Amino acid sequence: MIEKEIVPPPEPTAPEKLKHAWPPLFALLEFQFGAGVGYLQTAVPYWLGLEGIPLDIIGGISGAANSAHFWKLFWVPLVDLGPWRRTWYAVCTVGTAAMVVACSVMSEPTKHLATYTALLFALQAFCSTAHAAVNGLMATTTRIEDKGRTGGWQMAGNVGSTSLLGTLPIKLTTLWSRQAAGITVALIVLASGMAVFWVPDRPGEASPAGLFLRAAAARVKEIALDIFHTAFSRDGAVMLILCLAPVSCGALTNLFSAMARDFAASEGVVTWVNGPGMAISGAVGSLLGGYVADRINRKVNYAIWGGVTAICGLGLAFVPFNQTTYTVGTLAYSMANGCAFAAFAGMVLEMVTSGAGVTTKYTLFVAASNLAISYTTQLDGKASTWPIFMGGGARGTILFDALITFGGIGVVVLLFLTVLRKKPAGPRVTAGTG
């Protein structure tokens, strides 16, 4: 009889220590988003205004392109289905850079506004999808004790790059050409996007195709049920109404550069105000709004800062138009809107705390808010053609923005009087007979 050698099983190895992402990386990863949004928000309206395109058409183009931030709701859940958030980010960042170049090299865009708008829509679709991937990477690769610091770095990259990279093409166009400016911005996008390769992978996330498809189907069902229960709950429905109402859209930030001629603002003033000026004022406002959000009712805080934004617009509508009022009014509006955006984030984060579809639920409310920004921008631009609002023009646009914001605040007040003051009814208790 031959005895078999008994081989002892290998000793279990200690689990591999997970690597965590360095928080400042997320500031760099937001540069592609800032470049895409800033290009549409500042550079495009400024150029179209110089070429004589009416404010109502500029508002329509901006609103239509911005609507990509709403429609992304229908494809962003795909980002959460697998372990490829870094791949999603990398591909969409390349797409962002390509669309910036495509918009910049397009010959005579004012003669092809429909095509130009489609390219701008694609630009927003790419940059917003990459932004969603960044949110997922932040959630999965940063330490719990670094969440606040990570969010701060991301917001700094977001606000700062939107303002600075939005005005950079204007400045570079005067030095070189619009084509060279677009290529330069695209190279900045690609260079900053390289930071994604320093975000660590998560081991064990990948799976064979068959297993992945079954897991994906189960995950989709779980996410869909979570979103359904949230959206159709009392608090979820109220939140969707608040997001869809024009409470604090800050839509004028999409049109201020197009109003430069009305204020006789020089290119230097426009690039400084919409660049470093709005970067600083928006960041200060975000910090202030976030500080207050932790100390009072977050929905009330949201309405308050919406009111402050509207007051800034109302004041700007009635002062003499010159470079000084353009500077002061734009920066005041930007700071108030930064407060409101931080209030919005605090309000949504209070609502979205758990469940299978946390990322998608957050995207749902953000998409609803972006839809409000889109239609308000379009209506603001259209108001420039309505004589009832101070004879139309830039003053009419600014006045209408203030009035529609006050209307949105009225929706909040009505909700408080009819719904939010009442606590949800608990389950009815019936007497037993046993």
Per-residue pLDDT of the chain (434 residues; tens, 9 = 90+): 444 444 444 444 444 566 888 888 988 999 999 999 999 999 999 999 999 999 999 999 999 999 999 999 888 878 867 668 899 999 999 999 999 999 999 999 999 999 999 999 999 999 999 998 887 787 778 776 676 566 667 777 888 899 999 999 999 999 999 999 999 999 999 999 999 999 886 654 444 444 555 555 665 666 566 666 666 677 788 888 999 999 989 999 999 999 999 999 999 999 999 999 998 998 888 778 777 877 888 888 889 999 999 999 999 999 999 999 999 999 999 999 888 887 887 787 677 655 545 567 777 888 889 899 999 999 999 999 999 999 999 999 999 999 999 999 999 889 888 876 665 544 443 333 34
Q: Please indicate, yes or no, whether residues 54 and 177 belong to a single structural domain of this protein.
A: yes
Give the end of a domain, one of 201, 236, 256.
Answer: 201
Q: What are phi and psi of 295, to 5 degrees?
A: -120, -15
57 belongs to a structural domain: yes
CATH number of the domain enclosing 64: 1.20.1250.20
User: So what's the pLDDT on residue 202?
Assistant: 60
171 belongs to a structural domain: yes
Q: Please indicate, yes or no, whether residues 186 and 241 belong to a single structural domain of this protein.
A: no
31 belongs to a structural domain: yes
Q: Please indicate, yes or no, whether residues 84 and 120 belong to a single structural domain of this protein.
A: yes
Q: Please indicate, yes or no, whether residues 332 and 388 belong to a single structural domain of this protein.
A: yes
Separation between Cα atoms, residue 249 and residue 377, nearest integer Å? 9
Give the H/E segment covering residue 307. helix 298-318
Q: Please indicate, yes or no, whether residues 347 and 253 belong to a single structural domain of this protein.
A: yes
65 belongs to a structural domain: yes
Question: Residues in the chain, how many?
Answer: 434
Q: Please indicate, yes or no, whether residues 371 and 410 belong to a single structural domain of this protein.
A: yes
Give the end of a domain, one of 146, 169, 201.
Answer: 201
Q: Please indicate, yes or no, whether residues 288 and 405 belong to a single structural domain of this protein.
A: yes
DSSP line for 57-83: HHHHHHHHHHTHHHHGGGTGGGGGSSS
Q: List CB contacts of 375: < 8 A, sequence separation 6 or more.
A: 63, 246
User: Which residue segment(s) compose the domain that 181 sits in?
Assistant: 19-201
3 belongs to a structural domain: no
User: So what's the pLDDT on residue 232?
Assistant: 66
136 belongs to a structural domain: yes
Give the end of a domain, one of 140, 170, 201.
Answer: 201
109 belongs to a structural domain: yes
Q: Please indicate, yes or no, whether residues 228 and 84 belong to a single structural domain of this protein.
A: no
Separation between Cα atoms, residue 163 and residue 185, nearest integer Å? 13
Q: Please indicate, yes or no, whether residues 390 and 244 belong to a single structural domain of this protein.
A: yes
58 belongs to a structural domain: yes
Q: Please indicate, yes or no, whether residues 82 and 217 belong to a single structural domain of this protein.
A: no
pTM: 0.79
Q: Please indicate, yes or no, whether residues 313 and 336 belong to a single structural domain of this protein.
A: yes
Number of domains in the chain: 2
DSSP line for 320-351: --SHHHHHHHHHHHHHHHHHHHHHHHHHHHHH
